[in-house]
Amino acid sequence: MSSNDPRQLDRERATTSAPSCPKSWQTYFSDVSFDYNDRRAELTSSITTFLMSNVGQTFVKEVHLSDDCTISVAIDYERLKRFTSDIPDLHAALTCAPLECMACLRCA
């Protein structure tokens, strides 16, 4: 990816503005203290950075709020793979530790 790639520029901007510990960390990982080097923290950070990018915003726009105030996002896995190919841990986590990966997605 070149330095002029809009996705890379989006990620660089998002990385500098992303908080170190997501507010939702304790909701999804209540038994784990936040450590930036933890695999869950790294994956959550990568997903957050992606979702803050212009491309990632298209996923966030598809949020649905139900009558009981439940929030849901339908994600097409093939589309997600296509746009997050530079986050290899995401696909490995979905395969090897899907429940943990889904918690990272929700936390992000």
Q: What is d(CA 15, CA 56) in angstroms, rounded to the nearest whole number? A: 14
Give residue 9's identity as a one-letter amino acid code. Answer: L
pLDDT the model gives residue 40: 95
**Is-contact 30 36, C-beta < 8 A?**
no
Tens place of pLDDT per residue across the chain (108 aa): 445 555 555 555 544 444 578 899 999 999 999 998 999 999 999 999 998 899 888 887 778 888 888 888 888 888 888 898 888 889 899 999 999 999 999 998
